[in-house]
Amino acid sequence: MRAVKKLAVFRGAELVGMLLDETPIRFVYETSWRQKHQAPVSPNMPISQAEHSGQAVESYFENLLPEATIRDLLTRKHQVTSIFGLLSIIGGDTASDLTILPEGEVPQPPQYQAITWQDIADAFTQPQGIIRDIQEEGGLRISLAGAQRKLSICIDSNGNPLIPLGSSPSTHIVKPDIKGIEGVWASSINETFTMRLAAMLGLDVADVSYHSIAKACVIKRYDRLLDTNGQIQKLHQLDLCQIDGKPSTIKYESDGGPTLLRCRELLSQNGVVAADTKRFIQWVFFNLYVGNHDSHAKNLSIYFLPKHGVRLTPFYDLLSTSLYSGLSRKFAFKIGGENKPSNIHRDQVIAMSALLGFKPKYVLTVAEEISNDLLAKLHATSEEVNVMASVGTEQTMVDRLIQHISSNTKSFQKRLFTS
Ligand SMILES: Nc1ncnc2c1ncn2[C@@H]1O[C@H](COP(=O)(O)OP(=O)(O)O)[C@@H](O)[C@H]1O
Ligand SMILES: [Mg+2]
Q: Is 169 in the pocket of ligand 1 (CB under 6 A)?
A: no
Return the residue whose CA atom lies nearest to atom 9 of ligand 1. Answer: 316
Q: Is 197 in the pocket of ligand 1 (CB under 6 A)?
A: no
Q: Is 223 in the pocket of ligand 1 (CB under 6 A)?
A: yes
> Model-level pTM greater than 0.85?
yes
Does 255 participate in catalysis according to the annotation?
no
How remote is the CA of residue 300 from the centroid of ligand 2, in Å? 9
Query: Could you list the pLDDT tens digit for every one of the 419 residues in the chain?
Result: 457 899 999 999 999 999 999 999 999 999 999 999 878 999 999 999 999 999 999 999 999 999 888 888 888 888 888 999 999 988 888 888 999 999 999 999 999 999 999 999 998 888 767 777 777 776 667 778 888 889 999 999 899 999 999 889 999 999 999 988 889 999 999 999 999 999 999 999 999 999 999 999 999 999 999 888 888 999 999 999 999 999 999 999 999 999 999 999 999 999 999 899 999 999 999 999 999 999 999 999 999 988 888 999 999 999 999 999 989 999 999 999 999 999 999 999 999 999 999 999 999 999 999 999 999 999 999 999 999 998 899 999 999 999 999 999 999 999 999 87
How remote is the CA of residue 50 from the centroid of ligand 2, in Å? 32
Q: Is 316 in the pocket of ligand 1 (CB under 6 A)?
A: yes
Mutate to test the pocket of ligand 1, among 144, 177, 246 (most ligand atoms within 8 A of CB): 144
Q: Where are the domains of the chain?
A: 6-102, 111-220, 236-417
Question: Which ligand ends up closest to the CA of 316?
Answer: 1
Question: Which ligand ends up closest to the CA of 188?
Answer: 1
Mutate to test the pocket of ligand 1, among 317, 321, 324 (most ligand atoms within 8 A of CB): 317
How remote is the CA of residue 317 from the centroid of ligand 1, in Å? 6
Return the residue whose CA atom lies nearest to atom 17 of ligand 1. Answer: 317
Cα(143)–Cα(86) distance, rounded to whole angstroms?
A: 9
Catalytic residue among 93, 97, 223, 294: 294
Q: Is 19 in the pocket of ligand 1 (CB under 6 A)?
A: no
How remote is the CA of residue 93 from the centroid of ligand 1, in Å? 13
What's the CATH fold of domain 236-417? Answer: 1.10.1070
User: How many other CB atoms sit within 10 Å of the CB of residue 178?
Assistant: 20
